[in-house]
Amino acid sequence: MGRYRLPCLVAVGIVLSILARHEAFAQDPAPGQRGTGFGFSYSVPGARALGMGNTFIAFADDVTAADANPAGLAALEAAEVSGNLKFTSFKHDAAVDFTGRIETFDDTVTSPVFFGFAVPFEGAAVSVFYQQNVNRLSHSSFDDNTTPIFFICCSFLVDEQVSIETVVQTFGGSVAYNFEDIVAVGATIGFASLDWEQSRILTLTDFDFPLNSVTLDINLEEVESRATTFNLGVLINPGGNVSAGAVYKRGAEFELSRSLTPTCIGFTGDLCIPANFTTDTHALVLPSVFGGGIAFRHERFRVGADIVQVSYSDLADSFEFIAGFPSDEPIEDQIEVHAGAEYGFGDDDAQGAVRAGIFTSPDHDGVRFVDSDVVGFAFGAGGTIEGVKLDGAVSFSKAVTEFLFSFGYSFR
């Protein structure tokens, strides 16, 4: 009798994979709901910026200005090269059984985040760079081996394993011009690529005949997606005791593809339906950013603050496609606040600095049972000896911890 229940189990698996994306099978929280949503958050490259809580729009005085505010490149006094390496630890929550029990899953990523070279000349500057805008890894599991679910024609146990890896990287160039040290303007153009690998494996096991099981592989992966982005920036009184800046960053738009591939395991596997069941595509639009900042300098002390609006609502249309379930809270544009300070010491031969900052990141995950509204803190230090620059910084919040190391050389 058990062998004739397998087609029913296959049908249940297909139905559930569809209903999971339309709230008909939603729990509180539903299986498979991922705690951190997309994981896209505002940041700028460079340990100096991170050590001041990602406050850099009005400072923007090194090679990483190509991203933070390209107008700042015009204030460089000599050619510079810079590289940055980041270690990131992620925490995210997910439901792990039908009781709504939540567990926290940890993942780590180590990656180069920025390499750039800038050359100033006669009040202007140009640069080329490589940037890894996003590098995120997350995994979670839903494994309820004690609570059978009756649906349509049989009782079954649910096991789900999810793994998501996201990498967005950009190759680009910048140009900036300084109008008599009063106003500087700059622009960056970038050619971005997205590599998104998602594996979602849903296994349904017949509660009465455990040898009958169905596994559905739902894979989401890049389809050679490319996009062009740009940044525009302005900096007033660059390098002065008081400076102000503004920047606009256009988010990239990528095309994603998803396939649902059912396979069967067990002695009646010959009854399984064919593979390559469905394939569809969808556009993923990354958030655009508009921000402004102000910086004050007094002898060895610097302090600054940025206010940034991030169009997280651009992600709303893609949520259900990516996550596999509908968003149960609005994904809205958010305003973030970043503030930081730097104290320098040393002489002409060797300089050092210590830094600290604070930043906000409002909730934009699209998942009601997870509160990702955070206030984070950052600390950093660094120094320059004979043109060699070394900096390090750490930032931490309840969801993400980052360590960033920067090295560079100024050809003075």
At residue 107 the predicted structure's pLDDT band, cuts being 50, 70 and 90, is confident
Query: Beta strand pairing status for 80-95 and 102-121?
Result: antiparallel
What span, in angstroms and rounded, lies between the C-alpha atoms of 283 and 170? 18
* Residue-level pLDDT at 225: 81
Which of 35-44, 188-197, 335-344 comes out lowest in average pLDDT?
35-44
At residue 325 the predicted structure's pLDDT band, cuts being 50, 70 and 90, is low
User: Does the pLDDT value for residue 400 go beyond 80?
Assistant: yes
Average pLDDT on 129-157 reads 73
More confident residue, 365 or 175: 175
More confident residue, 402 or 39: 402
* Residue-level pLDDT at 149: 65
Yes or no: say if 100 and 115 are a contact pair by the CB < 8 Å rule: no
* Residue-level pLDDT at 30: 37
* Residue-level pLDDT at 18: 43
* Residue-level pLDDT at 197: 77
At residue 354 the predicted structure's pLDDT band, cuts being 50, 70 and 90, is very high
Q: What is the pTM of this model?
A: 0.82
Average pLDDT on 159-170 reads 82
More confident residue, 331 or 78: 78
More confident residue, 99 or 89: 89
Domain architecture of the chain: domains with CATH: 2-410 (2.40.160.60)
DSSP of 142-185, one letter per residue? EEEEEEEEEETTEEEEEEEEEEEEEEEEEEEEEEEEEETTTEEE
* Residue 18, C-beta contacts closer than 8 angstroms, at least 6 positions apart: none
Yes or no: say if 182 and 236 are a contact pair by the CB < 8 Å rule: yes
Phi first, then psi: give them for residue 325, nearest 5 degrees. Answer: -150, 155
Range ranked top by mean pLDDT from 44-48, 222-226, 349-353, 355-359: 355-359
What span, in angstroms and rounded, lies between the C-alpha atoms of 148 and 207? 6
Which of 83-97, 103-117, 202-216, 239-253 comes out lowest in average pLDDT?
202-216
Q: Which residues pair with 226 in a beta bridge?
A: 193
Burial of 264 (0-12, 13-18, 19+ CB in 10 A): buried
What span, in angstroms and rounded, lies between the C-alpha atoms of 5 and 220? 30
User: What is the amino acid identity at position 68?
Assistant: A
What span, in angstroms and rounded, lies between the C-alpha atoms of 375 and 337? 10
